[in-house]
């Protein structure tokens, strides 16, 4: 049996966090571990959880207030040693360049589309398993 992966979900909007949970389900693909979600509504909570460790993937809402997920992504990529892979939720496909600026590992558009999101999350989980980081 594969270990469980912990996915941190940052959004100030509980509906967005719910969309992420529902889109991924318990296992986003048959060849990746089951996922457990850790929800954060503030940037401070994200940093606190990353300091604790054990986070496998970060999903960050680019539309979050007061600090968007792209700003949080860039900050954690700069400040967190061995930062987990990040997936940023963006408002429009044209915002992909901002996701690149933030150093996100992947980006999907809002509202969360289950097949696209699960595929992107599974890809990050596979990549993380190949790299062997924790």
pLDDT, tens only, 40-68: 999 999 999 999 999 999 999 999 999 99
pLDDT tens track for 72-94: 999 999 999 999 999 999 999 99
| Residue boundaries of the structural domains of the chain | 5-131
Per-residue pLDDT, 51: 97
Per-residue pLDDT, 132: 65
pLDDT tens track for 106-134: 999 999 999 999 999 999 999 988 876 44
CA dist 109 and 34 (Å) reads: 23
Q: CA dist 130 to 42, 66, 123, 125, Å? A: 31, 35, 11, 9
5-131 in CATH: which number? 3.40.50.2300
pLDDT tens track for 14-43: 999 999 999 999 999 999 999 999 999 999
Q: CA dist 20 to 10, 60, 112, 113, 132, Å? A: 10, 10, 7, 9, 25
Per-residue pLDDT, 131: 73
Q: What is the pTM of this model?
A: 0.94
Q: Which of 124, 129, 127, 126 shows the shortest CA–CA distance to 58?
A: 124
Q: What percent of the chain has pLDDT over 90?
A: 93
């Amino acid at each position: 049996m594969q270990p469980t992966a912990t996915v941190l979900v940052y959004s100030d909007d509980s509906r967005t966090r719910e969309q992420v949970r529902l889109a991924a389900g318990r296992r986003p693909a048959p060849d990746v571990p089951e996922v457990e979600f850790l929800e954060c509504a503030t940037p401070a909570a994200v940093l606190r959880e990353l300091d604790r460790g054990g986070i496998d993937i970060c999903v960050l809402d680019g539309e979050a207030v007061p600090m968007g997920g792209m700003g949080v992504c860039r900050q954690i990529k700069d400040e967190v040693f061995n930062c987990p892979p990040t997936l940023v939720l963006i408002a429009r496909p044209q915002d992909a360049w901002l996701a690149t600026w933030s150093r996100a590992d992947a980006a999907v558009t809002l509202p969360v589309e289950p097949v696209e999101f699960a595929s992107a999350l599974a890809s990050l989980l596979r990549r993380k398993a190949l790299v062997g980081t924790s």
